[in-house]
Amino acid sequence: GQNIDQPTEMTATEGAIVQINCTYQTSGFNGLFWYQQHAGEAPTFLSYNVLDGLEEKGRFSSFLSRSKGYSYLLLKELQMKDSASYLCAVRDSNYQLIWGAGTKLIIKP
């Protein structure tokens, strides 16, 4: 079966750094996506990785290791507005997105 695992919830302090991990087992791999979803809102695209390594985009970075079936999203200089759920999704061999259940990130002052 196909499986995406993420921690259910994480807590971090404003101004700090947090790393959200995602491990996956899917039938094929055609890229990994990270989305942000604020409570009661739609998911919005954050990052895309298809090759191994780190992709940096402002305060957010995403890392991929295809051989380990592993990715992480790194959020730096945390702000209160970063309180949200972060969804990991893998595009499988059928080019469909398989989604993790999401990690709820709580930022404390």
Per CB under 8 A, residues contacting other proteins are 4, 30-31, 33, 41-45, 48, 50, 87, 89, 91, 95-102
Decide whether 35 or 78 has the Cβ nearer to other proteins. Answer: 35
| Contact of 69 with 4, CB cutoff 8 Å | no
Residue 72 Cβ vs other proteins, minimum distance, rounded to whole Å = 17
Decide whether 48 or 70 has the Cβ nearer to other proteins. Answer: 48
Decide whether 49 or 78 has the Cβ nearer to other proteins. Answer: 49
Residue 101 Cβ vs other proteins, minimum distance, rounded to whole Å = 5
Residue 28 to residue 39: CA distance in whole angstroms: 31
Extract the runs of DSSP E, i.e. beta strands, from the chain: 3-5, 9-13, 18-25, 32-37, 44-49, 53-57, 60-65, 70-75, 84-91, 97-99, 103-108
